[in-house]
Amino acid sequence: MPRLFTRRTFFNTTALAGSAFAVPNLLLKGQNAAGKRLRLAQIGANGKGLSDTSYVTLEHDIVAMVDVDQKRLDEAAKKREKYHVDANQAPPRPPKLYTDFRKMFDEMANDIDGVMIATPDHTHFLAAMWAIKHGKHVCVQKPMCNTIWEVRELHKAAKEAKVITQMGNQGRTMEGQRLAKEWIEQGRIGTLKEIRLHTNRPIWPQGPIDKVQAPTPEGLDWDLWLSSTPMEPYFELPKDKQTKRASSVHPFAWRGWWAWGSGALGDMGCHIMDATFSILGQVIPTKIEVESGPISDLCAPNWTKLKYHMPASEKQPAMIVSWHDGQIDGKPNKPEKHEMIKDDTWAKATSGMQFIGTDGLVFEGDAYCKSPRIYPDEAYTQARMDLGSGKHKKTEARSPTPDNPQLEWAHCIVNGGLPSSNFDYSAALTEFVLLGNLAVRSQQAISWDKDAMKVTNVESANQFVKRPSYRPGWGV
Ligand SMILES: NC(=O)c1ccc[n+]([C@@H]2O[C@H](COP(=O)([O-])OP(=O)(O)OC[C@H]3O[C@@H](n4cnc5c(N)ncnc54)[C@H](O)[C@@H]3O)[C@@H](O)[C@H]2O)c1
C-alpha cells in the first residue's frame, strides 16, 4: 500500500480529512450485518490485552496482534488460540504479529475494521489516533489517555471520523451501576448529599522512586515501548521498592510514573468514579482540594485524599465527592465509614463507594458498582421486592453484553447503537478523574475552567494539562 503521508506530519495534515482514510471503511449500519465477523486488531497484546482479546475472539476475527515485547506477543498469540480450543472450536487463522503498530497500519490497514488498545496509558493516545486517522473503530482501555489535552484531541478526532468508540471501564456495562442510579433518582435514600470513594491502590510502587539503570530485557523493544516519550535507558526499581509483581517499569509498574501512567487515581478512577459521574449527570468539577504523601516530578504519591467540588446538575444538587487511595503508615487510607455499614463489610471493602443520602445510603464494596446495596436493610428489601414485581422503573438503557465492553463495542459496530462508554461519555469521565492529578502534581487546591481547559488559580498546574513533548515519528 503506498504511504500517503509521512509519520512526522500524520496528525497535522488537514489533507487527511478528505483522504480515503477519513471515514470508517466499515460502518455496517443499514446493511445486512447479521452474523458479521469483524476483523479486529489488538495493540498491547499481553496483560489486559489478553483478556480483552478473549472477550471477542470467539465472535470476531483477530487479524493482527501488536506488542513491543516479542516474548509476550508470542505468548498472547498462543493463549488466544487456546481460547478457541477450550471452546471446542477449530484454532482460528493466526493473526499477523507486529511489534510496531505503525507498521501494521502501513501493511494491512485495509484489512482491519476495529482496533482494541491495551498498552500502558501513555500510548493510548498515539495508538488510538493512528487507528482513528485510518478510519478504524476504537476500543481503548481506561484511562482513555493520561493527559487532558490528549483526551480532548482524541475525542474530537473520533467525532470527526464518525467511528464507534469505547473505553474499557467494564462497570459502565453492568446492571449494578444502572440500579444504583435508578434507586437514587427514585428517592430510595432521600436526597443525595455526599459521595465518598476509596481504593487500596496503589498495589505497585509509588512515591519518590530512584531509577536503577539495567539491561533491556531480551525481546523487549524499549524504544517502541517509550513511544513518543523522551528516550532514556531501561531501568529497574531499587531492590527495596521491588515487589513480586513489579521489579522494573515494564510490565505493570509503569502505573506509578507520570510519564507513562497516571497513579492510583488514574488507574482506578475511571472504574470507581464511573457510577458517580453518571449519577451526578456527567458534570465536571469546578475545584479540587488535595492532601497527599510525598510526590516527585516523576512519580505519583503513595496515598491521596481529594475533595472534588461538583456543581449541581438537572438531577442532583451540588456536592463534595471525596477520593481516598493508598495506605498511610501501613493502614488503608479509607474515608469515614457511614454508620449503617457493618464493620466486617467495611473491612472487606478494598475499594468502595458510599452514596450518602438524607435517609440512607447506597454502598458498593468493590470498584465497578457491580452489586450495590441500599442501607437501611428495609429499604434494600423493598427495592428488591419492587425489582421482582416490576415496580422498579428501569430508566437507564441496558447493555446488550453486560460485563463485556469489548463485545458491546463490536456489537454496536455491527448492529448500530452506541457503546455505554463511548467517547462522548468516557472523555468527560477521564477528564473528571485526571483533574485530581493536576491538584496532586501542583500540591494545592485548583480551580478548573472547563471551557478554557485551564486551571485558573495556579498557573504552574497548566503545564500538566498537556505532555511536555513528543518524540518525532509518532505524528504529533
Ligand atoms: N479495565 C480493567 O479492568 C483493566 C485492568 C488492567 C489494566 N487495564 C488497562 O490496560 C492497559 C494495560 O495495562 P496492563 O496491566 O495490561 O499493562 P502491562 O504492562 O501488563 O501490559 C501492557 C502490554 O502492552 C505492551 N506494550 C507496551 N507498549 C506498547 C506499544 N507501544 N505497542 C504495543 N504494545 C505495547 C507491553 O509489552 C505489554 O505486553 C492500561 O491502560 C491499564 O490501565 C484495565
pLDDT tens column, 295-321: 999 999 999 999 999 999 999 999 999
Q: What end-to-end distance do the CA atoms of the chain give, in Å?
A: 22
- Section 402-412 average pLDDT: 98
61-66/165-167 β-pairing: unpaired
Q: Is 48 in the pocket of ligand 1 (CB under 6 A)?
A: yes
Phi, psi of 293 (to 5 degrees): -70, 175
Which residue is closest in CA terms to ligand 1's atom 10?
118
> Which grid cell is 91?
484454532
The whole-angstrom separation of Cα 309 and Cα 289 is 8
Which residue is closest in CA terms to ligand 1's atom 17?
252
- Section 124-149 average pLDDT: 98
The percent helix, strand, coil of the chain (3-state, each to 5) is 35, 20, 45
Determine the atom of ligand 1 nearest the C-alpha atom of 405.
1
**Does 222 have pLDDT greater than 60?**
yes
Q: Is 101 in the pocket of ligand 1 (CB under 6 A)?
A: yes
pLDDT tens digits, residue range 348-398?
999 999 999 999 999 999 999 999 999 999 999 999 999 999 999 999 999
CA 406 to chain centroid, in Å, comes to 12
**Does 270 have pLDDT greater than 60?**
yes
How high is the pLDDT of residue 34? 62
- Section 98-104 average pLDDT: 98
Same fold, 7-169 and 172-203+262-398: no
**Does 49 have pLDDT greater than 70?**
yes
CATH number corresponding to 172-203+262-398: 3.30.360
Instruction: Measure 134 CA to ligand 1 centroid, in angstroms.
Output: 22
DSSP secondary structure, 30-64, as one string = TS--TTPPPEEEEES-STHHHHHHHHHTTTSEEEE
Instruction: Measure 48 CA to ligand 1 centroid, in angstroms.
Output: 6
Q: Is 252 in the pocket of ligand 1 (CB under 6 A)?
A: yes
Q: Is 144 in the pocket of ligand 1 (CB under 6 A)?
A: no
Q: Is 116 in the pocket of ligand 1 (CB under 6 A)?
A: no
| CA distance readout (Å), 110 to 14, 34, 64 | 21, 22, 12
Which residue is closest in CA terms to ligand 1's atom 39?
46
How high is the pLDDT of residue 33? 60
Q: Is 99 in the pocket of ligand 1 (CB under 6 A)?
A: no
Best of 67, 249, 272, 429 for a ligand 1 pocket test (most atoms within 8 Å of beta carbon): 67
The 3-class SS string of 76-102 reads HHHHHHHHHHHCCCCCCCCCEEECCHH
What DSSP state is assigned to residue 220? B
**Does 19 have pLDDT greater than 80?**
no
Determine the atom of ligand 1 nearest the C-alpha atom of 126.
31
Q: For all residues of the chain together, what is the average pLDDT?
A: 93
The whole-angstrom separation of Cα 299 and Cα 441 is 9
How high is the pLDDT of residue 18? 32
Give the list of residues 6+ apart from residue 95 with CB closer than 8 angstroms, or none.
Answer: 41, 42, 62, 63, 64, 65, 77, 80
Q: What percent of the chain has pLDDT over 70?
A: 93
**Does 11 have pLDDT greater than 70?**
no
- Section 134-159 average pLDDT: 98
Instruction: Measure 435 CA to ligand 1 centroid, in angstroms.
Output: 22
How high is the pLDDT of residue 5? 37
Determine the atom of ligand 1 nearest the C-alpha atom of 46.
39
Confidence of residue 58 (pLDDT cuts 50, 70, 90): very high
The whole-angstrom separation of Cα 199 and Cα 202 is 8
The whole-model pTM stands at 0.94
**Does 52 have pLDDT greater than 70?**
yes
The whole-angstrom separation of Cα 426 and Cα 420 is 9
**Does 322 have pLDDT greater than 80?**
yes
The domain segmentation of the chain, as residue ranges, is 7-169, 172-203+262-398
442: left (phi over 0), alpha (psi -120 to 50) or beta: alpha
pLDDT tens digits, residue range 20-48?
333 343 444 444 566 799 999 999 999 99
Opening angle at CA 68, ends 413 and 107, nearest 5: 55
Query: Which class is domain 7-169?
Result: alpha beta
How high is the pLDDT of residue 35? 76
Q: Is 121 in the pocket of ligand 1 (CB under 6 A)?
A: yes
Q: Is 352 in the pocket of ligand 1 (CB under 6 A)?
A: no
Q: 72 in helix, strand or coil? A: helix
Best of 54, 119, 169 for a ligand 1 pocket test (most atoms within 8 Å of beta carbon): 119
Determine the atom of ligand 1 nearest the C-alpha atom of 66.
33
How high is the pLDDT of residue 29? 44
Instruction: Measure 201 CA to ligand 1 centroid, in angstroms.
Output: 17
Cis-peptide into 208, omega within 30 deg: no
